[in-house]
A and B are shown apart, each in its own frame.
Chain A
């Protein structure tokens, strides 16, 4: 009997010889850039328990991963976001004297989506982060590195960024107005900034290339996730697709028992050429 089923589950597919060769070329160029910048690789498991992440990931986010019960009766999920996994893996061995740490990782994540939008996908990602340095220099380095990498792949990057901590300055109603884009323009928000946030944003902006980076004070989501400071998205010439995203998430390591600042980014490699 010949097995007739040709299709794969929604959102996944094999890469055959040519596509694999292309993927590997991109991957090795990418990795060599990160290694040149003194980042070291870690490898993370493809599944993990759901429990340890409960406090970090919103209900909505954890629902977008495939979850099942393992043979010991524990709820596990397939990797859908590297960032919290890196923190959970590194936290127990984090040695303050060795910080800051420069880490990178690569692999697949799988996102499932119960809505009718057909967004299920297996994505190959490479990401990097700097652990243990709360300084603005790190925010700036991380953002600039993402643009440098994009340039290596002939992408004229445009980066839209904001500081997620401004969400705390807005009332629920105001925040909703920003999220839906009903009211509250960037200049309204600018007037509300506390002096320290305003100063921080000014200092960051002064060190970024204005042709590439744009601060959008109204770029806030309903849920800022684990981000605590700068959050950015990198676009290429197809301006509808986010090629890379990242920012600062200083509270994630603390959740796993090792207080350490962290900032990083993740590229989705399928979107590179």
Chain B
């Protein structure tokens, strides 16, 4: 089985989650080695950029991974999402400079999500895809608005921007490739069960005889 770990914001908590579920995960020394593939406890752990996790899973290059709902939606990824994780939650927000003109142009790293949201709101606006530092687009008036993830709101405050509307609540999820689930069903159900016990311990108290490990 191959598990894709998102590098960056979610990496440490994701590794801690698998470790808590009893998996032998790559340690700090491994991670400092700059290698991206590790064999531990019969599992191949691969480290990929967070936005690429859905791509690996969808193509079957990895069986299980952790990805934010932002990346899942943006890629229109069809993988199963059996567990919503309890860390790294944030919000995707519509952001603008105070006193900004009406919503006509939106800069974002998430063009697909942005278009869908604008459509659902009946707003006609142009979407300008950017690779990063999206707030700058609003600061420099490249666009009237920005759609981006907001975790603490610090970036928004520093740039003297304001939050205008909620686009989506974003949470990381355990994702499982459909064909991996179909063909490695018992292994993957075991994995889902072990992760579930960590994320939602209350759910597991149930029929007598069921042992939560």
Contact = CB atoms under 8 A, between A and B. Distances in A.
Closest 10 CB pairs of A and B: A240-B60, A239-B183, A115-B76, A181-B82, A181-B80, A160-B182, A117-B58, A240-B179, A116-B75, A180-B81
B176 interface: yes
B183 A115 contact: no
B183 A240 contact: yes
24 contacts: A115-B76, A115-B112, A116-B75, A117-B55, A117-B75, A117-B77, A119-B59, A160-B183, A179-B80, A180-B82, A181-B80, A181-B181, A182-B82, A182-B83, A214-B185, A216-B182, A233-B179, A235-B182, A239-B180, A239-B184, A240-B61, A240-B63, A240-B183, A242-B179
Contacts, number: 61
B179 A118 contact: no
Contacts of B192: 181
A122 interface: no
Counting chain B CB atoms within 10 Å of each CB, the highest count among A115, A118, A119 belongs to: A115
A240 B76 contact: no
A257 B74 CA distance: 40
Nearest to A242: B179
A115 to B, nearest CB: 4
Interface in B163-186: 176-177, 179-185
A54 B58 CA distance: 27
Given A119-B58, A239-B180, A242-B179, A180 B75 contact: no
Interface string B53-97: 011001111010000000000111100111100000000000000
Nearest to B177: A240
Contacts of B182: 160, 216, 219, 233, 235
A88 interface: no
Interface string A33-75: 0000000000000000000000000000000000000000000
Interface string B176-201: 11011111110000001000000000
A235 B184 CA distance: 11
A117 B112 contact: no
A214 B184 CA distance: 12
B209 to A, nearest CB: 15
